[in-house]
Structure 1
Amino acid sequence: MATTKIAIHVQSDSAILDDQTIMLGETFFKKWKLTANQSVTLVYGSHKKDVKVISIARLVGLRLQGTLANLLGLHDGANLSIRYRKSTRTLYIGPLIGVMMSRVSTKDSEKPFGANTAFCKELTDACAKYGAFIYFYTPKGITPNSQTLNGWSFSNHWNKKTFPIPNVIYNRLTTRKLENQPIVQKLMNDAKSRYGSVVFNEKYLNKTEVFEALKKEPGLLGLLPESYHFKSFAMLKSMMARHSTIFLKPITGSLGKGIIRISRLSDKSYQYSFNNTLSGMRTKNFSNLTSLYSSISGVLKHQSFQIQQGLKLIEIGGRPIDFRVLVQRNELGEWSLTSIVARTAGQHNFVSNLARGGSLSKVKDIVGKSNLNPANKSTLNNKLGIAALKIAKGIEAQVPGHFAELGIDLAADSHGKVWLIEVNSKPSKEDNTPLVENKIRPSVIKVVRYAQFLAKFS
Structure 2
Amino acid sequence: MSTPKIDVQVISSGILSDDVLMLGESLMKQWKIPAQQHLALQFGSFRHSVTIVPVPKYDGLRISQTLARRMGIFSGTPLRIQYQATTRTLALGPLIGVLISRDNPEQSDKPFGDITMFCRELTDACRSQGAYVYFFTPNAIGSTLSSVEGWVYTKGWHRMMLPAPDVVNNRLTSRKLENRPVVQQFMKEIKTRYGAHVFNEKFLDKSEVFNALKKDASLQKYLPESHSLQSYTMLKNMCSRYSSVFLKPVRGSLGKGIIRLSRIGPDNWQALYATVSGTKRQSFTSLVKLFSTISGKMKSVRYLIQQGLTLIEIGGRPVDFRALTQKNASGKWAITSIVSRTAGTHHFVSNLARGGTLSTVRDSVAKSNLPIQFRGDASSRLSKAALDIAIGIDTYIPAHFGELGIDLALDTSGRVWLLEVNSKPSKNDNTPLKEGKIRPSVRMIIQYARYISGF
Structure 2 residue 12 is the aligned partner of structure 1 residue 12: yes
CA displacement at 1:117 relative to structure 2: 0.6
CA separation of 1:340 and 1:223: change in aligned 2, threshold 3 A: same
Separation of aligned partners in 1, 2:41 and 2:131: 16
Report if the CA contact (8 A) 1:78-1:128 is conserved: yes
* 1:108-137 superposed Cα distances (whole Å, 9 cap, x missing partner): 101111110111111111111111101110
Residue type of the alignment partner of 1:184: V
Report if the CA contact (8 A) 1:327-1:335 is conserved: yes
Report if the CA contact (8 A) 1:274-1:283 is conserved: yes
SS of alignment partner, residue 367 of structure 1: helix
Report if the CA contact (8 A) 1:2-1:83 is conserved: no
Which of 341, 344, 347 is residue 345 of structure 2 equivalent to? Answer: 347
Match of 1:443 in 2: 441
Match of 1:161 in 2: 160
Separation of aligned partners in 2, 1:254 and 1:426: 10
CA displacement at 1:35 relative to structure 2: 4.8
Separation of aligned partners in 2, 1:275 and 1:391: 26
SS of alignment partner, residue 38 of structure 1: coil
Match of 1:318 in 2: 316
CA displacement at 1:212 relative to structure 2: 0.5
Match of 1:300 in 2: 298
Residue type of the alignment partner of 1:9: Q
- Which consecutive residues of structure 1, in runs of 5 or more, have no partner in the other structure? none
* 1:420-455 superposed Cα distances (whole Å, 9 cap, x missing partner): 000000011112112123221110011000000001
CA displacement at 1:13 relative to structure 2: 4.1
Residue identity over aligned pairs, in percent, reads 51
Separation of aligned partners in 1, 2:52 and 2:182: 38
* 1:226-276 superposed Cα distances (whole Å, 9 cap, x missing partner): 001111111111100000111111111100001111111111210001123
Match of 2:240 in 1: 241
Match of 2:355 in 1: 357
- Which consecutive residues of structure 2, in runs of 5 or more, have no partner in the other structure? none
Task: Give the 5 Å matches for 1:207-356.
Answer: 207-277=206-276, 279-356=277-354
Separation of aligned partners in 1, 2:283 and 2:240: 18
Separation of aligned partners in 1, 2:25 and 2:157: 33
Structure 2 residue 391 is the aligned partner of structure 1 residue 393: yes
SS of alignment partner, residue 29 of structure 1: helix
* 1:96-116 superposed Cα distances (whole Å, 9 cap, x missing partner): 100000000123101111110
Separation of aligned partners in 2, 1:399 and 1:335: 15
Report if the CA contact (8 A) 1:38-1:54 is conserved: no
Give the paired residue count. Answer: 455
Residue type of the alignment partner of 1:283: R
Structure 2 residue 62 is the aligned partner of structure 1 residue 43: no
Report if the CA contact (8 A) 2:145-2:189 is conserved: no
Residue type of the alignment partner of 1:379: D
Separation of aligned partners in 2, 1:404 and 1:61: 32
CA displacement at 1:361 relative to structure 2: 0.7
Match of 1:187 in 2: 186
194-203 vs 142-151, which deviates more? 142-151
Separation of aligned partners in 2, 1:322 and 1:361: 11
CA separation of 1:87 and 1:400: change in aligned 2, threshold 3 A: closer
If the length of structure 2 is used for normalisation, what is the TM-score?
Answer: 0.98
Separation of aligned partners in 1, 2:30 and 2:105: 47
SS of alignment partner, residue 348 of structure 1: coil
If the length of structure 1 is used for normalisation, what is the TM-score?
Answer: 0.97
* 1:303-345 superposed Cα distances (whole Å, 9 cap, x missing partner): 1111101100000000000000000000000000100000000
CA displacement at 1:197 relative to structure 2: 0.5
Residue type of the alignment partner of 1:427: P
Residue type of the alignment partner of 2:299: K
